[in-house]
Structure 1
Amino acid sequence: MGVVFLGVRHHSPACARLAAETIHAVRPAYVLVEGPADMNDRMDELLLGHDLPIAVHTGYRDHERRHSSWTPLCDYSPEWAALTAGRATGAELRFIDLPAWHPALADLANRYADARHDEAAGKLCRAFEVDNVDALWDHLFEVPPADGLAGRLATYFDLVRGDAQAGPDDAAREAYMAQWVRAAAWEAGERPVVVVTGGFHRPALIRLATRGERTWPKVPEPPEGAVAGSHLVPYAFRRLDAFDGYQAGMPSPGYYQDLWEHGVDGAAHRLVEAVTARLRSRRQPVSTADLIAARAAADALALLRGHPHPARVDVLDGLAGALVGEALDTPLPWASPGRLQAGHHPVVVEMIAALSGDRTGRLHPSTPLPPLVRAVLAELGGPGDERLHLGDPADRERSRFLHRLRVLGIPGVVRSASGLRVEQWTLTDTDDRMPALIEAGSYGVDPQEAAASVLAERIRDADLGRLTDVLFDAALCGIGELAGRVLNDLERAIGAAADLGALGRTLAVALGMWRHDDLFAITSGAVVRAAALRVLWLAEGVRGGSVPADPRRIDAMAAVRDALRHAGTQLGLDVDAALGVADRVAACQDAPPDLRGASLGLTWSLRGTAADPVRAVRGAFVPKSAGDWLAGLFALAREEVLHTGGMLELLDELVGAMTDQDFLVALPALRQAFGYFPPRERHLIATRLVELRSGRSARDLLRLDAPPELVAAGMALDERVDTALRREGLL
């Protein structure tokens, strides 16, 4: 019989059945499957008895690039069906594709991507009058009887490939796979060999299998200095779903699992049940009459489209017609491939979720795990809340461990609250944690090494803001060596920075670390000094009097104030020179009003009192830009304004003298400006102004002239309304 080439679509139940039936029928010497050849010596691990879906995750990193990719397998994947059928019939099993880290697969996050069929498949969709490739595939292969399936698949993939020349990456992969085929055919002698690959590769492999070397190819090794590794990870249907952004194969994995287990008609029934159950669980009314109408519509559509049983789109169209009464603003999502977009009707969204299914894979307990997983699970502990006092060495080390997991993106590890020296963490169990830990294992063997690798990767080509983020995360993770490297990079970046907002944030972060070096153990004084000087130098050159208040620019001036106040003497900052810069900016009418106000606030807060604060405020107040100017002033000298005698009265006078037009123009900025006062201080301001304007106590104005019984009845009514809204899911 020689070599049997089966071209398949990844995650197709029809192809999976064909692969298994063919292998059981011909009982080949070798079963060759498109997949990572570096997993061949771990085939027993792959077939331990996992609960699918699972995936082979491959991580790679060197000094130039990092790459992660997945090779997913579910019950109805043709590759999985071929491997299990081959093992059952005693065949030798081999993956025959290049390792996932290889440059030929560098652009693929998912080995089983099906993105090369657009032109030919588009012509077929038009010929068969279907919306997209998924509907075409069901129409040609999943719904019809299995008779003649192999021939139809071969014709389809010959049309898809056509005369197209493979690109360099596909050519390299096909040449490598072909050498495996030739070697297996030579070794098998008179016994057959079955080759299961993506249908796009089948025509090329048939051509290449007749010429070339017949020796077994070597599995490529990673370049010197590179780190590469593959591990099995649990996968989930929601990650496998094209509507969730998955690059390859079939959408709606929950539906196709039912198709694999129960056939076309059974899958249609179960889809209706799943959609109904999901909608009813969301308190969406679905009546028996609706379901009868949906089923009747699906049967009619299947008959009209020539389907012996309702296909996926027949059932979906029937459900949409029966359950969605309004006109839809966007096309139904199953009419076009790709990720589910915003704007779809809520019922349609729930239908897509029901199609996806909620199955999550489980690895066999004997599956080898990366060292990182063992290290984390030994230290993480169970779910619950943890309150950590960072002054305590044990709590500080625990905080660093949890921050390392946060940097690695491990689900279920959340810092729910943080203060200066106290953190609150919430740990929860989640199905996503194990896959994330296994995938993070490609970064290092323990949390510190892995987090350091992640942060080091972020440094490359990072701007000032990203460098600041990396510095802070490195400090929180206790990775001092990396933090020292980032500090050096920050000093260089500060010298060229032109964004006051980014500089201010860098200054605030570095100053906080300098002030609390007992917690962070980071020497950031040089960055503090460089950033403070750069902010002052840039601030004096900013022009543009009509620019609205910029909170980031104001925060930069606040960071300079704090640096001068807390670190000026120790770090050699010239406080008098800095105050001179602030005086000049405050008096410059061409400077933005928020920057002028912030500069006045800086001098006022550092000197303790202005020479004449009333005159300074009166002279700087301009009605049309009052709100922006006050925003800068309040941000840096809030307490001085609040507690300087006569200042609130002056501001009330100045605002009261504004024309109606000026007040309406300035009102949004004024609201923003007074937002710098916390609620307690806003209450104090309101109280003093009420007393100033009315001569009455503000407390008197808050008294309610109503019987207590009426107030109690109103509160009880409010509570009943809130209870009803919560019960109906509206609150």
Structure 2
Amino acid sequence: MSLTVIGVRHHSPACARLVAATIRALRPAYVLIEGPSDMNGRIGEMLLGHELPVAVFTNYADGERRHGSWAPFCAYSPEWVALQTGHETGAELRFIDLPAWHEAFADRSNRYADAELRYAEAVDRLCTMFGVDNTDALWDHLVEMGPQEEIAERLTAYFDLIRGESAAGESDTAREAYMAGWLRAARAHAGDRPVVAVVGGFHRPALLRLAEGGPADWPPVPDLPAGAVVGSYLVPYSFRRLDAFAGYQSGMPSPEYYQQLWDHGPESAARHLVTVVAGRLRGRGHPVSTADLIAARTTAEALALLRGHPVPARVDVLDGLASALVAEALDVPLPWSVRGALTAGQHPAVVEMTAALSGARLGRLHPDTPLPPLVHAVTAELERHGLDRSGEITVDLLDPRDRERSRVLHRLRVMAIPGYARSTGPESGLDPALVETWTLRDEGSRLVALIEAGGYGATLPAAVEARLAERVAESPGDLAALAAVLFDVALSGVGELTGDVLEQLGHGVAAGTDLAELGRVLSVVLALWRHDELFGTAGTAALGVVVEAATRRILWLSDGLHGPGRPADPKRIRAVVAVRDAVLHGRRAGVLPAAAVEVAGRVAVDRAAPPDLRGAFYGLARVVAAAVLTDLPGVPGLPTPAEAVRGAFAGGTAGDWLAGLFGVARETVLAVDGMLPLLDDLISGFAADDFLVALPALRQAFEFFPPRERETIADRLLDRRGMTGSGRALLRVPATPEVVAAGMALDELVERRLSAAGLGTGER
């Protein structure tokens, strides 16, 4: 029987009208639609009466890849109109494309990626011929604004030219062969009734050819690969996600404009466009006068006449608005003159114009729509823990019930479910914070995120494990990212993933070259290894392996590291602090104090090493010797604290050296008899100019002391000088230290010049 194949552009009002009119006129036995064939048993879900836009979301996972894909529909999507109109006329409905998880879609996040984008040469020729900027403007000119009675002929000519004699790529060839099988089967089963197929226009010429002859049995849905898991569900969608200006490459830009075109026609859509843009600009504080709007409409109408449009098209109105509202020269092309996402550097008014045309429409699923198990599991979890309401909550991590609530919230955070924001709490295994503060809000996009997350697992812990494993695979060798994953493993209470993370961490540690990143990894892992009361990870053998490996790697990298190293690097100093803590607390993990002291002694006396690193490793040697060893075997020539301090001041690197020393061993060093007076004498001995130069580094060094300790030092210095007063008040001098130092330098300069002129003290 007769087969009518309608080639369409996805999300096109003109194509949608043609589809509806054709189906109503032919009343076919079958309506075949380019869409995932594995959804054929669930087409009833598409007919429940949703508020558009919606999308079919498919999540696929096997041992090697995870793939997410969306097939979005809005009211003017030809595929959606084919479903609704076909159902109204009593046709049997079939999706005829390969499932979204199929390898043919492996490089796409959206099944409706326009094939003609890969055949830009033909499109460019047409754009040049008709004097338009890009595919979207060309489409509007030829189809949306063209005579409606000529739409079918224009579409056929357009897509025949686009496809030409070119062969499709490998993935499209597989899809076309599969879809052709459905066309042949439908013709064979339709009897004397017609068949209508709605497919992307690029595929139409090939399908008409392939539909002749060959097997006439219904094609089977491809089998999933062994071990693969797939889930497909309807999700609410939004015009923002559908907009080409927001990065969606498979459809039309400015969905709100095309919705108006679908609902009310081109003339009303043009008027609405001006109204909504003016309203948005005024709402954002951009001045838009009545004269501006008159000028914009006049320009748009003139452009429409010049371009051969019966009424202003989308680009006519936008060009008119830009002409009236943007007086400055533009650094980048107007977004509607090029195809793709909105680029940086656009004029603020242009940004607001494109946002106004995007629209704020959000889809809503019918209440009877099936949802993945994760949605129900999370709903139950939230109710059980009292987290199903908006407001701010405080969680005590030492309380077992609160700690479980914290784990639920962190699992939602890891899955990027909106509406759960933590404002306070531990940021790493080093953070002593034992209380978290969370703000819970009822976000409209939460259901979408939960449905899309449902592909990771049926329960929240299972989904989090899969997501964290994915993050590990995405971050090979990225120590900071892997350390963050490991901490999320602990916060979420999904310790089963630890082995996978640690395997990647082991590889990263072995190849790590950044002391700061290695130090952070060591700090986080060591804290998790030590603190069982919060995370349940204390003393585990696997974490101990990472502690030992990271400590050894930091020591190896530091031994022989040369360079000026100024100013002092706090991150590098913190890496040595992490080694200190590993040596003091990680002997059960295999960290050897004697080996650390041996390296520390070499670095401490290496004059080519950066001064902050020399100071840090001198402090490391002293701390470990005082806490673990009775003496310093194997470290010949290590100076006494007083000798080391005098050497740093003599070398002109006092501030940077002290920063390293204080960062690692401030308490141990200051406990040495006479150390504070020695530092006082050495700093007081600076000439005013030298002190001004050294001041920033000295300030950085003393910032390693907490406020209480700085106040104690100030009190002792006042006592040493026989002065009364408060150390706290001394630390709160209204003038900055730089101003005080500059004043001292000025006083000294004045004294020198007075003395040179014979006007010094005692000389008159």
Per the normalisation by structure 1, the TM-score is: 0.89
**In the alignment, structure 1 residue 556 sits paired with structure 2 residue 575:** yes
Shift of residue 316, structure 1, vs aligned partner: 1.0
Q: Distance in 2 between matches of 1:576 and 1:230?
A: 59
Residue of structure 1 in register with 2:469 after alignment: 456
Q: 1:674 to 1:246 in 2, by over 3 A?
A: farther
Q: Distance in 2 between matches of 1:224 and 1:178?
A: 27
Q: Distance in 1 between matches of 2:667 and 2:329?
A: 57
Whichever residue aligns with residue 477 of structure 2, its letter is D
2:122–2:162 contact (8 Å) kept in structure 1: yes
Shift of residue 540, structure 1, vs aligned partner: 1.2
Q: Distance in 1 between matches of 2:226 and 2:521?
A: 37
Residue of structure 2 in register with 1:533 after alignment: 552
1:528–1:563 contact (8 Å) kept in structure 2: yes
Gaps of 5+ in 1: 705-731
Whichever residue aligns with residue 203 of structure 2, its letter is H
| Equivalent of 1:481 in 490, 493, 496 | 496
Shift of residue 154, structure 1, vs aligned partner: 0.6
Which structure 2 residues correspond to residues 197-236 of structure 1 after superposition, within 5 A?
Answer: 197-236=199-238
Q: Distance in 1 between matches of 2:36 and 2:236?
A: 17
Farther-moved stretch of structure 1 (77-86 vs 411-420): 411-420
Q: Distance in 1 between matches of 2:720 and 2:142?
A: 83
**In the alignment, structure 1 residue 502 sits paired with structure 2 residue 521:** no
Q: Distance in 1 between matches of 2:459 and 2:626?
A: 51
Q: 1:491 to 1:87 in 2, by over 3 A?
A: same
Deviations 1:298-352 (A, max 9, x none): 1111112111111111111111111122222221111111111111111111111
Residue of structure 1 in register with 2:126 after alignment: 124
Which structure 2 residues correspond to residues 370-519 of structure 1 after superposition, within 5 A?
Answer: 370-380=372-382, 381-419=388-426, 420-460=433-473, 462-463=476-477, 465=479, 466-491=481-506, 493-519=508-534
Residue of structure 2 in register with 1:86 after alignment: 86
Q: Tell me the secondary structure at the aligned position of residue 426 of structure 1.
A: strand
Farther-moved stretch of structure 1 (411-420 vs 645-654): 645-654
Shift of residue 440, structure 1, vs aligned partner: 0.7
Q: Distance in 2 between matches of 1:265 and 1:22?
A: 24
Q: What is the aligned residue count?
A: 700
Whichever residue aligns with residue 212 of structure 2, its letter is T
Deviations 1:562-606 (A, max 9, x none): 2233344x4453334423322221211121233212213334555
Shift of residue 294, structure 1, vs aligned partner: 1.3
Q: 1:518 to 1:29 in 2, by over 3 A?
A: same
Q: 1:196 to 1:606 in 2, by over 3 A?
A: same
Q: 1:174 to 1:513 in 2, by over 3 A?
A: same
Q: Distance in 1 between matches of 2:149 and 2:677?
A: 94
Whichever residue aligns with residue 349 of structure 2, its letter is V
Which structure 2 residues correspond to residues 142-161 of structure 1 after superposition, within 5 A?
Answer: 142-161=144-163
Q: Distance in 2 between matches of 1:81 and 1:684?
A: 78
Residue of structure 1 in register with 2:677 after alignment: 646
**In the alignment, structure 1 residue 575 sits paired with structure 2 residue 593:** yes
Q: Distance in 1 between matches of 2:498 and 2:398?
A: 20
Q: Tell me the secondary structure at the aligned position of residue 455 of structure 2.
A: coil
Shift of residue 266, structure 1, vs aligned partner: 1.0
Q: Tell me the secondary structure at the aligned position of residue 147 of structure 1.
A: helix
Residue of structure 1 in register with 2:198 after alignment: 196
Q: Distance in 1 between matches of 2:131 and 2:710?
A: 66
Q: 1:676 to 1:206 in 2, by over 3 A?
A: farther
| Equivalent of 2:322 in 314, 320, 323 | 320
Q: 1:187 to 1:500 in 2, by over 3 A?
A: same
Q: Distance in 1 between matches of 2:722 and 2:419?
A: 55
Residue of structure 1 in register with 2:180 after alignment: 178
Which structure 2 residues correspond to residues 587-598 of structure 1 after superposition, within 5 A?
Answer: 587-598=605-616
1:464–1:503 contact (8 Å) kept in structure 2: no
Q: Distance in 2 between matches of 1:672 and 1:76?
A: 63
Q: Distance in 2 between matches of 1:252 and 1:692?
A: 75
Q: Distance in 1 between matches of 2:92 and 2:721?
A: 93
Residue of structure 1 in register with 2:760 after alignment: none
Per the normalisation by structure 2, the TM-score is: 0.86
1:641–1:648 contact (8 Å) kept in structure 2: no
Whichever residue aligns with residue 647 of structure 2, its letter is G
Shift of residue 529, structure 1, vs aligned partner: 2.6
Q: 1:571 to 1:208 in 2, by over 3 A?
A: closer
1:623–1:658 contact (8 Å) kept in structure 2: no
Whichever residue aligns with residue 449 of structure 1, its letter is A
Deviations 1:36-71 (A, max 9, x none): 000011010111111011000001101011110000
Q: Distance in 1 between matches of 2:310 and 2:716?
A: 81
Residue of structure 1 in register with 2:646 after alignment: 618
Q: Distance in 2 between matches of 1:76 and 1:417?
A: 46
Q: 1:366 to 1:623 in 2, by over 3 A?
A: farther
Whichever residue aligns with residue 396 of structure 1, its letter is R
Q: Distance in 2 between matches of 1:38 and 1:196?
A: 17
**In the alignment, structure 1 residue 544 sits paired with structure 2 residue 563:** yes
Farther-moved stretch of structure 1 (169-178 vs 641-650): 641-650
Shift of residue 528, structure 1, vs aligned partner: 1.8
Q: Distance in 2 between matches of 1:260 and 1:38?
A: 30
The RMSD of aligned alpha carbons is: 2.9
Shift of residue 518, structure 1, vs aligned partner: 2.2
Residue of structure 2 in register with 1:295 after alignment: 297
Q: Tell me the secondary structure at the aligned position of residue 215 of structure 2.
A: coil
Deviations 1:670-690 (A, max 9, x none): 676566556777788899999
Q: Distance in 1 between matches of 2:409 and 2:598?
A: 45
Shift of residue 468, structure 1, vs aligned partner: 2.4
Q: Distance in 2 between matches of 1:691 and 1:277?
A: 70
Farther-moved stretch of structure 1 (69-78 vs 693-702): 693-702
Whichever residue aligns with residue 560 of structure 1, its letter is V
Q: Distance in 2 between matches of 1:250 and 1:283?
A: 29
Shift of residue 620, structure 1, vs aligned partner: 2.2
Q: Distance in 2 between matches of 1:224 and 1:487?
A: 28
Q: Distance in 1 between matches of 2:688 and 2:626?
A: 29
Whichever residue aligns with residue 255 of structure 2, its letter is P
Q: Distance in 2 between matches of 1:327 and 1:642?
A: 64
Shift of residue 513, structure 1, vs aligned partner: 0.7
Which structure 2 residues correspond to residues 20-35 of structure 1 after superposition, within 5 A?
Answer: 20-35=20-35
Shift of residue 210, structure 1, vs aligned partner: 0.7
Q: 1:559 to 1:335 in 2, by over 3 A?
A: same
Shift of residue 543, structure 1, vs aligned partner: 2.4
Q: Distance in 1 between matches of 2:734 and 2:658?
A: 32
Residue of structure 1 in register with 2:333 after alignment: 331
Max radius of gyration: which structure?
Answer: 2
Residue of structure 1 in register with 2:757 after alignment: none
Gaps of 5+ in 2: 383-387, 427-432, 628-637, 736-764
2:476–2:508 contact (8 Å) kept in structure 1: no
Residue of structure 2 in register with 1:711 after alignment: none
Q: 1:401 to 1:268 in 2, by over 3 A?
A: same
Residue of structure 2 in register with 1:600 after alignment: 618
Q: Distance in 2 between matches of 1:240 and 1:541?
A: 56
Q: Distance in 2 between matches of 1:134 and 1:691?
A: 80
Q: Tell me the secondary structure at the aligned position of residue 646 of structure 1.
A: helix
Percent identical across equivalent pairs? 60
Residue of structure 2 in register with 1:727 after alignment: none
1:9–1:199 contact (8 Å) kept in structure 2: yes
1:641–1:647 contact (8 Å) kept in structure 2: no
Q: 1:604 to 1:2 in 2, by over 3 A?
A: same
